[in-house]
Structure 1
Amino acid sequence: MSTTTTTENKSFEITKGINGLEKVILRETHGSSVEVYLYGAHVTSWKNEHNEEMLFVSSKAIFKPPKPIRGGIPICFPQFSNLGLLEAHGFARNRLWTIEADPPPFPSNVNDRVFVDLLLKPTEEDMKIWPHSFEYRLRITLGPGGDLMLISRIRNTNADAKPFTFTFAYHTYFSVSDISEVRVEGLETLDYLDNTKNRERYTEQGDAITFESEIDKIYLSTPTKIAVLDHEKKRTFVIRKEGLPDAVVWNPWDKKAKTMADFGDEEYKQMLCVEAAAIEKPVTLKPGEEWKVRLELSAVPSSYFSGQLDPKKVLQGA
């Protein structure tokens, strides 16, 4: 049984989560909510006003450091993928972040919104594997309509005048009714790198992305809005992003799912990752420079037209 502590900031609560890990709970007056673990600054729950869960977290997720949490919204920094000395997808997602009580001003309207500001700085161990000083500030905001917004600000604080370079992704796991009933709109005709084929480059041919086998693609030069349409739930997720040119679409399908210890054999059917990212062209920051990006997620009822979902209404009205 967890105990809840209310901080001076009335917009969130701090409580104990799984295995005693601290988490922050944001609640909006109409009933929507968000849960964020300080371990990884990891959003693990986003519920609408009807208490329906929007994010997928595996029933086998290991909420125990140093293992990252499987599902929700892991933060991939300072790298996306598995390269060099760094662990897969970087170390931000399995470090303990702190709540920042008095952060620098964020250029966002906070009226009628609840939010929490989190901060990550490198440890001595981090500096051994990635020798750069930085400050990573993350604001997680829940809007009055239940929209979820994440604003990341990464600053180079190196004292030796050295720049650093990184790649990045918000590795969002959406909860879906059945992967075979889902389609993604907004990425048609775009080039992508196929991670299942050594990142060979192809051009998307379909008029929408549908799913019948493993997919692991990095779409390039993507629009600022992408729609994920769930036919069975009659629900569409709208992804809005700023400063993140790429979008990863991933589902492990059955064979790979069975190789993942923290993922159920059949759970691939109930999830889809569509990730706002900066991968193809790594970001370079000089000392004192700051990089700022934004992700906003919303869920709206899907529209029908001649028996088909009509994503144009969603994208045009978003």
Structure 2
Amino acid sequence: MLCSAPTMRAARAARPAAAARAAPGRRAVFAVRASAGAGVADLQKKFGIKGNVEFVEGKAGTPTVVLKHSCGASAQVYLHGACVTSWKQASGDEVLYVRPDAVFDKSKPISGGVPHCFPQFGPGAMQQHGFARNLDWEVASTSADLQPDEKDPEVELVLTENDYTLKMWPHKFKAVYTVTLHGEQLRTDFRVINTGDAPFSFTSALHTYFEVLHVDKAKVTGLKGLTYLDKSKDPKNPATGKESRDAVTFGSGLVDSVYLDAPAHVELDVGTGAAVAIDASGWKDVVVWNPHLTMKECYESFVCVENALAGGPVTVQPGDSWRATTNFQVVDL
């Protein structure tokens, strides 16, 4: 529920694994590419997997894929922006947050969940946060298997250059984004492949919104001692500082900080006795954001902890690729 207190409960990794072992099934893999412009019925026919992967009409009729794990966890991904808008534990408790001002008619990016920032994080030469969150992604494949040593429910989405992107960023590329439910854990895998004949550079992020009991109770651990860029006063000319706190807190004002060379593991205490553990590879930085009174209707209900390449760009040579992964899990405190 938007702008409401969560009832998120802690999840144990052993429980979903046991559930998967208790319900063996056959493997199903579908790898025919289909445009997001295809009808939901066509997508379901080509890529749907009964009980695990379902294509439905989301809000405003926008094509959406729902992943369902045998343990009861679920995730929802809009093809517009390849945006994960829901990740629920087996209990039914929502972990992510979608803002009340979010629109789903493709007139603008979806505000909430896990939006993409690519090939630019924040302000710069092109539009804010680039173009990946503004476009429909294609479905490349889906898979599901309830055998313990095989794949969990998964969807792979692809974005390539077009006239719209080339006007802003004159490069040929292939972005591949895979979303997987591993029990109650949410996993993402983001790859960028240079399909052109010249090197290109980019910045990027997963702009993840998490629901919290109250912004005053939320805190992020794992960032102490890091150098950070404070963008709260001037995003284009951030001040530099060094984090001295054991936990980054919110509620006293706008928070917009880029923590450079962040560790692979950080945790967000959501204020309910549980935390979201975030484990990443490939993403060099962590961005912590809360808009405070600039979004006074809902800022108390969420914070963003973003895996990012925000401190500086990465360069990919022709024929090469860059890859980053994340694993999100709810844990007891």
TM interval, shorter chain, is 0.7 to 0.9
Alpha-carbon distance in 2 for matches of 1:138, 1:240: 17
1:41-120 to structure 2, matched below 5 A, reads 41-84=82-125, 86-101=126-141, 111-120=150-159
Please state if 1:250 is matched with 2:286. Answer: no
AA aligned opposite 1:179: V
TM-score normalised to structure 2 length: 0.82
- Pick aligned residue for 1:157 from 195, 213, 217: 195
- Listed as ranges, the gaps of 5+ residues in structure 1 are 104-108, 258-264, 303-318
- Shift of residue 8 of structure 1? 4.3
TM-score normalised to structure 1 length: 0.85
AA aligned opposite 1:26: L
Alpha-carbon distance in 1 for matches of 2:219, 2:149: 33
AA aligned opposite 2:201: T
Alpha-carbon distance in 1 for matches of 2:313, 2:178: 22
Report what 2:160 is aligned to.
Answer: 121
- Shift of residue 230 of structure 1? 2.2
Q: Residues 48 and 55 of structure 2 are in contact (CA less than 8 Å); yes or no, is this contact kept in structure 1?
A: no
Please state if 1:298 is matched with 2:325. Answer: no
- Pick aligned residue for 2:65 from 14, 20, 24: 24
Moved beyond 6 Å, runs of 4+: none
Please state if 1:38 is matched with 2:74. Answer: no
Look up the SS of the partner of 1:5 in the other structure: helix
- Shift of residue 235 of structure 1? 1.0
Alpha-carbon distance in 1 for matches of 2:265, 2:159: 28
Q: Residues 222 and 267 of structure 2 are in contact (CA less than 8 Å); yes or no, is this contact kept in structure 1?
A: yes
- Listed as ranges, the gaps of 5+ residues in structure 2 are 1-39
Report what 1:309 is aligned to.
Answer: none
* Cα shift readout 1:98-149 (whole Å, capped 9, x = no counterpart): 100389xxxxx972511001000111121111110000011100002x1001
Report what 1:176 is aligned to.
Answer: 212
Alpha-carbon distance in 2 for matches of 1:130, 1:68: 18
- Shift of residue 245 of structure 1? 1.1
- Shift of residue 208 of structure 1? 1.1
- Pick aligned residue for 1:225 from 245, 249, 265: 265
Report what 2:305 is aligned to.
Answer: 274
Report what 1:314 is aligned to.
Answer: none
1:180-219 to structure 2, matched below 5 A, reads 180-197=216-233, 198-211=237-250, 212-219=252-259
AA aligned opposite 2:219: R
Q: Residues 47 and 141 of structure 2 are in contact (CA less than 8 Å); yes or no, is this contact kept in structure 1?
A: no
Look up the SS of the partner of 1:196 in the other structure: coil
Q: Residues 142 and 154 of structure 2 are in contact (CA less than 8 Å); yes or no, is this contact kept in structure 1?
A: no
Cα 1:200–1:39 change in 2 (3 A) is same
* Cα shift readout 1:199-219 (whole Å, capped 9, x = no counterpart): 111001212111122100000
- Shift of residue 5 of structure 1? 3.3
AA aligned opposite 1:147: Q
Alpha-carbon distance in 1 for matches of 2:208, 2:164: 27
Cα 1:110–1:272 change in 2 (3 A) is farther
Name which structure has the greater RCO, CA cutoff 8 Å, separation 6+: 2
AA aligned opposite 1:266: E
